[in-house]
Structure 1
Amino acid sequence: MTILQINTSNSVVRAVSKRLLMVLLYFIFAHKLYAQHDVQLHTDRTYYFPGDTVWYKANLIYKGSPDTAVRNLAMAIGRPDKDVLEQQLRPVVGGSTFGQYIIPDDYKDHELYFNLYTKRKEHEPFVSKIGVFQKKEVVSDSRPAVEVLIEGDGILPGLFNNASFQWNVRTGINAILANESGTEVAAFTTDTLGRASVQFRAEKTPLFLRWSHQGTDYEQVLTNSPYGARMRLGQAGDTTLIVIENQSRFRNATLLFIPEPGTTWYKNLHFGIDNMITFPLEELLGGSYSGDFVLEEQDSVLATMRLDRFNPIQPQLSFEQVSFDRFGGNSFDILIPDYNEWNLSVSVHDGLLPSVADNPARYKFAICGRYRYSYPKPGPADSINDAVLSLQGRITMPPKEWEKFWGLRHKRQQRLEKEDKTVKGVSFGYRLLTEADFRYEEVPYDTLGNLLLRDIVFYDTLQTRVVQIDERLKTISHEIEWSFSNFEPVDRMVVPDFEAGTDLSHVYIGKFDPHYYILPSGERAIKEVGIPRKKVDARIQKMQAQFSRGWFDRESVMDIDLLHEGIPGYVFTLEELTEYLKNKYPIIRGLGPLILANNIHDRDKTWTGGDMPLDVTEIVFARVYENYIQHPSGGGAIMYYTSGVNARNKDIGVAKISLSNVAGYSGFHDFHHKKYNRDSLPAYDDRQTLYWNPDVQIKGNVKFPVRFHNNTLSDSYIITVQGVSRTGRTIRFSKRVTKADIDTSLLERKK
């Protein structure tokens, strides 16, 4: 760690700075708050079919601003039963990242879950879910759950309390608040979105929230104030007030306010008989719009509150062209009416799918005037250790072997020093699967076995190959442990009750079908069966072109680069290699393959010299065919290709090569925007997502153009705009566009 030193010659400045530093450190280490850590996840739509691609963008917000300290986001995607289907790792730049996930063609569940992890809360993921149509219907296992936000983070007995409730079901909920004896304190009914707010006075606690849903009764205890005091906001005309109520034993307290950035202001308070102090909020803000309030006395925290400026904003859309014709062109502009810089994502999808904004959202804040406030818990400091990831490697062997190895290496080094030479490191080779050839470099290592690699940042999969190249040390058995992600692997999905019970049930009434196209005549045409998506290995492609000839220059079931297969040391002969491959890849055994070499068909030929390989070190490549033309019973074949007797790393040996595939950052795909020429149109287009752009960087009051073509099914579409400004303002906007908007677009063009 590099420590920068600042010299100050002024003793007065030094004394004042020391006093201020003590105040700041006392607050930071004693009463640091968990600031609100928000995740805004925008998927191109909320409902999908099996085989669809989910396009998404995640915005990370911390203390009301884009979270630029987070550099990595880990995502787990899985089923309602908590089975994990895929794990992704995304780089975060400027507080946001985006990517995609392909839903399996054979996915059978009606919902799909996402868990998002960052170093802010590595063990408390953000959770979201989408609907997946099965036979054009999503059926949710709706189980009611409720989130409660109580002003002050808990009930204070004998005073009026304000509480907000959010259920995850949209049906009307009739609920009551009652004490232990059953006396009713308040009664209320939710709105059509499952929300309700109520003011009540409780003389005794605890209080219980009781409600019924579809004949089942539920009960939940409400929390008391953890400190015996609370802070909230109130309004008197145009003035926003901070209201502090104190039922603790302390009559004197100090109110600290830490705005952004972190200068601390404080106010000494004395509570009278009524236990309440009220004064204008602006007295403490000092021109700031956000920060943390802490009420404390004698090293005890009495109350906390997080404050943010609440200033909702909506984008303005101006339509240039609206068309619901088949392949019709559409265009509109987006303008944000302020002067911030904005990081947005924009999607347009078929109007027969529900809007993203239709889903219930949890209460996270209370709102008063121009401000919103919440109640974070005391917690650790703001700083996190998160950096752009790179490849890490370590040589491993049993401790006694490592001690022996290092002793031999030390003696070897002493001898070489007399010749002005040094012990070599390891030969490190690496390539992306899209590259045909390895790149090599010599890499040193430390006394713990850590490879001293330069920073290697990569996407998808990196194939690595390590060989000990020092002649006297290469024979010692070892393994290489590789790593890239610094997140723990996720074994099970996190599925909270609120998300699990959220009802996404919906019946799709549109014309899209995952298996058929709807032709203009109304007839159905079977969709082409897509080729399974698999990564193309450029090295395999190169070896196919180099070795395969004649009948064997065709699609195979499997291609094996034996030079980098990592063949065990006990495999020496062709027969042993074949048996090893049959055990490792059961599909080969099932083919009952003939064993061939070097593009020669005649299996009865007497092999001599280097034709039929006798030793595994002669073989570099193998191709497996499902139906071999000369197999007497219609089975398959294994074609081995050689590079000459003992041409394969004879001075290293098979067992001394360590080959691994290491997963890096998840790869990005491009969303393909259809562009049509009226002179050459296809028969159909049933895209459900018409437009997706996750990287819209614009300034306020500057128009951003959106252009796309309609499909052949839709007579409406839904525009969704989400994002965050540099100052932390957020947008979550959705608009349905129908044929009625065509006249509007014509009017705007005339203007």
Structure 2
Amino acid sequence: MPKSDFIKYVYFLICFIFSSVQLQAQSKITFHTDRDYYFPGDTVWFKSYIHVDGNLDTAIHNLAVAFGKGTGEILQQQLNKASLGISFGQYVLPIDFEDSDLFVNIFSKRNIKDDAVLDPAAFKLAVIQNKAVPTVNEANLYIQVEGNGWIPNAVNKLRFQWNNKNIEQALLVDEQGKELQTLKIDNKALAMAEIQSPTNKLYVHWKYKDKSYVDTVPSIEPLVRMRVTEENDSTRIWIDNQSELPAISFQYIQGDYTILDTLLNLEKGKALKIPIENWMAGRFNGKFLLKDKEQIYSKIIFKAKLADSIKIEPEYMIYRPYGPQRVQLEIPGEEEWNLSVSVVDGLIPNSELENKSEDYQFEGRKFIFYYASKSNLSVNAVQIDDPIAFLSGKIIMKDEKWQEFMELRNDREKRAKRKQEKFRGSSFGIKKLAHLNYVYREVNFDSLGHIILPNITFEDTAQIRFVQIDKRLKTFDYDLVWKFSPLPSIPNLTIPVFVKNLDYSMQYQGEFDPLTYSDDFGKTFIKPVGIERKRNNPFYRDLNEKNSLDWFLFNDANLNIDLEVEDLPPYVFEFKELMRHLRRKYPELGPDGVSNLQPMMLFNNATMAGGNVQIPADITEVSYIRYYKNYPFDNKGLGLIMVYTTGINYRNKDIGISKIKKLLVPGYHVLEEFHQAKYEGEVLVDYDDRQTLYWNPDLAMKGGEPMTISFYNSGRNSSFNIRVQGVSKSGKIIDMVKHIQEFEED
């Protein structure tokens, strides 16, 4: 192939190219899904926000998302693109999934240290089995203290979040065993408390299912921290101190600029009060730091508060099967927002328990103040480069063999130069798995074996073929390592116990069944389980449309063998060796075991034997093979083997077949588009029991400008749960759910 054509193909593969960005700090992942409860076989539609230091993390371009079971077993790990701190994706839950919990790990390059993944974000989704999600037998408590830790003799505001709503009793107890306060737990398993005590240690005694638990309220070292209060019209930062530090640095940072950096003298047992409302006037966000040299003891990030809640109002609702619906959304203010919006069947609930509690926050009149957790206090975070992923490869050979190989290669190159001939090095071929043909080019490699490639990025899976063209160099055996993802694969999921034991128990009251459906007369039918691979896979669809003719175009094969994908042993070179191997691997292609007769064999859509047929000599001349069990012109009853050829010596004519290395390399996960069902005129579907009626993960809105979303009912639902989640340009957060049903709204 001409070099210009190959460059065009590479350009076609490249979806995004970002320049490297260097940035410091730790990141936090916000994970939005179309719903919290799924059935086996459902598609989980999701969106991820990557935050760093209170803002979207624009340095991250690669995000790994792994789905799996409570045992840690990974079912699928995806590499997703991220742009401007946002990433999208989907995951199809296996139809035979038997657990009631689906777990997710998400991580970026900020989680990587010494090639190991540290503290990936963990989330839990519920899977309804037999119309229920069972109760979890264990419970856990997550405790937060305003300012990150308990300080004796100071005012302490505390937040207690359980992962189960059935907690029986909870008490605050000092280190002497004295009961100080009884906690009031709301219907979201949350309790708040404000307490001042001289005790150095504070404990929570609580009960669940007659079992007693004790948790320690976290303290802070040294005993110094910040907290925010509002009194009348004044907003202040209090610096509580029970430490021996003589002084500490206090900073106010706005964007990339340090507005204030001053040294405060401390006195043990006394608090400092600093008015801050004038500094924040006209600001959307900023942060305050309390630090000593490079050690940060406390960090508070503030963001402007949303003036009013988002409006979700029905605009045009028809509560009949397949009816059109319109809902109007409006956000107060004038800011720009990026939202994810989902509409699901009203019988699918939203969990009131969070996967993980956010940082402790104080909600003031105009601002919300977020107290950074201890894991986000480090000032010495590693700088990162996270460009878009490109394919790379390396030749692996033992040192002594590599030296011998390179000496021979140099000798062959010099010999070709003396003869004024072109030296042929290595042939590199690439194609997407669903495509028919490779794109080839000659490539070189450096003295360490790194293959010199253009920048190639791709989605889905690529199949790569690599071979030494020079006939003498083919005699050397070697291995190849291909790499695309810049993020490592994790062997198992990391599931914190709090997330693992989240209690999503519920009884499903609807009629949906992942395997069956009922018609209007109550008769039950078995659903088609997916679509046959040969019809769903674009590769086999192309084979039918482009290569099959006449009878073969309209009849499905019982077996498809693509030689570009088939893993062939190294001793298979000739066509007869290929058929001998395939007959051992696929018994239906071989003798019947009684008469020793074999299926008839034809080539390139021929319906009968005879004519001028050029039988291939070796595997380079075979494209793929199909087997038809029931072929009408087969008088032996053994079926037909149809061989599709490429033409004699057409495939790989420049490189031969020796030492061909083939490997499948996964690329970026393919982002599918959510199918919005539309019904106009007569409805001709057998059934429609969709649980998610609408999903838009990338809805851009501006405050004060209403927007209408449209969708169609399924054949069953009569109520809806509408969820709007998102972030504004200045970092404000929205997460709101509204239930709508006929004659009644909540």
TM-score, L = length of structure 2? 0.85
Asked whether 1:597 is paired with 2:578, we answer no
| Alpha-carbon separation, structure 2, partners of 1:252 and 1:649 | 75
- Counterpart among 357, 362, 375 of residue 357 in structure 2: 362
Give the superposition deviation at 1:163.
1.3
Which amino acid in structure 2 is aligned with residue 372 of structure 1? F
1:356–1:700 distance in 2 versus 1, CA, 3 Å: farther
Of residues 276, 285, 304, the one that matches 1:281 is 276
1:591/1:626 contact within 8 Å kept? no
Quickly say closer, same or farther: Cα 1:415–1:653, change in 2 above 3 A: closer
User: How far apart are residue 328 of structure 1 and its match?
Assistant: 1.6
How has the CA–CA distance of structure 1 residues 586 and 226 changed in structure 2, closer, same or farther, with 3 Å as cutoff?
A: farther
CA distance in 1, matches of 2:617, 2:168: 78
Where does residue 22 of structure 1 map in the other structure? none
2:711 corresponds to which residue? 708
Structure 1 residue 435: Cα displacement: 2.5
Contact in 1 for aligned 2:43/2:91 (Cα 8 Å): yes
Written as runs of structure 1 = structure 2, the 5 A alignment for 1:160-239 is 160-239=155-234
Name the counterpart of 1:371. Answer: 368
Offset at residue 388 of structure 1 (A): 1.0
Residues 588, 141 of structure 1: alpha-carbon distance in 2 compared, 3 angstrom cutoff:
farther
Q: Which residue identity does 1:303 align to in structure 2? A: Y
Structure-to-structure mapping, 1:242-253, within 5 angstroms: 242-253=237-248
Change (3 A) 1:487 1:591: farther
Q: How does 1:231-630 map to 2 (within 5 A)?
A: 231-263=226-258, 265-272=260-267, 274-282=269-277, 290-297=285-292, 299=293, 301=295, 303-312=297-306, 314-355=309-350, 359=354, 362-369=357-364, 370-375=367-372, 376-381=376-381, 383-418=383-418, 423-533=423-533, 536=537, 538=539, 541-542=542-543, 546=547, 554-562=555-563, 565=566, 567-572=568-573, 576-578=577-579, 580-581=581-582, 594=598, 596-598=600-602, 619-625=622-628
- 1:585–1:458: structure 2 CA closer, same or farther, 3 Å change rule? farther
Residues 1:61 and 1:698: Cα distance change in structure 2 (over 3 Å) = same
Q: CA deviation at 1:389?
A: 0.9
Shift of 1:663: 0.8
What is the alpha-carbon distance in structure 2 between the residues aligned to residue 45 and residue 525 of structure 1? 27
What code does the residue aligned with 2:178 have?
T
Residue type of the alignment partner of 2:743: A
Q: Which runs of 5+ in 2 are unaligned?
A: 1-22, 113-117
**Superposed CA offset, 1:314-351 (max 9, x none):** 32234321111122211122222122221111111111
Match of 1:11 in 2: none
Which amino acid in the other structure matches residue 695 of structure 1?
Answer: D
Residues 558 and 623 of structure 1 are in contact (CA less than 8 Å); yes or no, is this contact kept in structure 2? yes
1:145 and 1:498 in contact (8 A); partners too = yes
Cα pair distance change 1:444/1:176, threshold 3 Å: same
CA-to-partner distance for each residue in 1:265-309, whole Å, 9 max, x for gaps? Answer: 212212246432112124666865544444344x47472223222
Q: What is the rounded CA distance, in whole Å, between the counterparts of 1:586 and 1:461 in structure 2? A: 29
Moved more, 89-98 or 568-577: 568-577
Tell me: CA distance 1:189–1:282, structure 2 relative to 1, closer, same or farther (3 Å).
closer
Q: Percent identity?
A: 33
CA distance in 2, matches of 1:188, 1:466: 67
Q: CA deviation at 1:616?
A: 5.5
Q: Spell out, residue by residue over 1:702-748, the C-alpha distance to the aligned partner (whole angstroms, 9 max, x if none).
A: 22221111122122111111111121111111101111259x9xxxx
> Displacement of 1:524 after TM fit?
3.2
Query: Structure 1's 583 and 170: CA in aligned 2 closer, same or farther, altered over 3 A?
Result: farther
Q: Distance in 1 between matches of 2:370 and 2:591?
A: 65
Asked if 1:666 is matched to 2:669, the reply is: yes
Tell whether 2:66 aligns with 1:76: yes
Deviation at 1:503, TM superposition (A): 1.1
**Whole-angstrom CA distance in 2 between matches of 1:264 and 1:584:** 73
**Which position in structure 2 is the counterpart of 1:21?**
none
Cα deviation digits, residues 155-179 of structure 1 (max 9, x gap)? 2233332211101111244222324
Question: How far apart, in 1, do the equivalents of 2:574 and 2:516 lie?
Answer: 52
Provide the residue aligned with 1:654 in structure 2.
657
Q: Aligned equivalents of 2:310 and 2:590: distance in 1?
A: 61
Q: Is the 8 A contact 1:556 1:625 kept in 2?
A: yes
Report the CA distance shift for 1:624/1:418 in structure 2 as closer, same or farther (over 3 A): same
Distance in 1, Cα, partners of 2:569 & 2:612: 25
Instruction: Output the TM-score relative to the length of structure 1.
Output: 0.85
| Structure-2 change in CA distance of 1:397 and 1:548 (3 Å) | farther
Shift of 1:396: 2.1
CA distance in structure 1 between the aligned counterparts of 2:648 and 2:687, rounded to whole angstroms? 57
Letter in 2 for 1:598: L
2:720 counterpart (717, 720, 727): 717
Give the partner amino acid of 2:397. M
Q: Cα distance 1:644–1:694, how it changes in 2: closer, same or farther (>3 A)? A: closer
Distance in 2, matches of 1:208 and 1:634, equals 79
Partner of 1:728: 731
* Alignment partners' CA distance in 2, 1:180 and 1:728: 41
Inter-partner Cα distance in structure 2 for 1:663 and 1:695: 25
Change (3 A) 1:622 1:302: closer
CA offsets 1:459-489 (integer angstroms, 9 cap, x no match): 1111222222235434332333211111111
Whole-Å Cα distance in 1 between the matches of residues 688 and 548 of structure 2? 42
**Most deviating of 47-56 and 564-573:** 564-573
Aligned to 2:99: 109
* Structure 2 residue aligned with 1:65: 55
Aligned to 2:121: 126
How many Å separate the matches in 1 of 2:288 and 2:604? 81
> Structure 1: 5+ residue runs without aligned partners?
1-31, 745-751
RMSD of equivalent CA atoms: 3.6
Question: Alignment partner for residue 80 of structure 2, among 84, 90, 96?
Answer: 90
Structure 1 residues 163, 124: closer, same or farther in 2, change over 3 A?
A: same
The secondary structure found in structure 1 opposite 2:111 is: coil
Q: Secondary structure at the match of 1:120?
A: helix
Q: Which residue of 2 aligns with 1:696?
A: 699
Counterpart residue type for residue 323 of structure 1:
I
- What amino acid maps onto 2:710 in structure 1? R
Report SS of the residue matched to 1:153.
coil
Residue by residue over 1:657-715, the C-alpha shift from the partner in whole angstroms, topping out at 9 and shown as x without a partner, is: 22222111111222221221234454542211111111212222222221111122122
| Alpha carbons 1:559, 1:622 under 8 Å: kept | yes
Residue identity opposite 1:214 in structure 2 = K
- Determine the structure 2 residue equivalent to 1:28: none
Deviations 1:626-673 (A, max 9, x none): 567899997677555566887776875533222222111111222221
| Distance in 2 separating the partners of 1:150 and 1:692 | 37
**1:648–1:359 Cα change, 3 Å:** closer
Taking the aligned partners of 2:286 and 2:382, their CA distance within structure 1 comes to: 13
Q: Does 1:44 align with 2:38?
A: no
One-letter amino acid of the structure 2 residue matched with residue 374 of structure 1: Y
Does structure 2 retain, via aligned residues, the 8 Å contact 1:290–1:308? Answer: yes
